[in-house]
């Protein structure tokens, strides 16, 4: 498995750090991704990785602050356009 930090910043994005989001790429046999939190611009951060949005199997939200959830609408709609 592989752990990818898509964002580790505070409540607002900065030039060098995005808001909170962590992806866990599971074992090769499973070929799926679990996402922990989905802050603003998470889908943009995913573009800089090898993650395919349609492979995201589960999204866990740690709590309902904006910096942990505001990326959900964009990610979910982009994923649906890609047939995911």
- Half-sphere exposure of residue 28: CA atoms within 13 angstroms, side-chain side: 0
- Catalytic residue of the set 67, 69, 72, 75: 67
CA distances for 19 relative to 9, 42, 61, angstroms: 5, 8, 13
Tokens 């740690």 locate to: 62
DSSP state of 74: H
37 is catalytic: no
Would you name the residues annotated as active-site residues? 67
């Amino acid at each position: 498995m592989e752990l990818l930090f898509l964002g580790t910043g505070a409540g607002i994005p900065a030039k060098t750090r995005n808001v909170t989001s962590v992806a866990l790429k599971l074992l090769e046999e499973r070929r799926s991704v679990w996402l922990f939190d989905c802050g603003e611009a998470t889908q943009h951060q995913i573009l800089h990785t090898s993650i395919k949005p349609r492979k995201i199997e589960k999204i866990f939200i740690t709590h309902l602050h904006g910096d942990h959830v505001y990326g959900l609408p964009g990610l979910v709609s982009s994923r649906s356009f890609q047939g995911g």
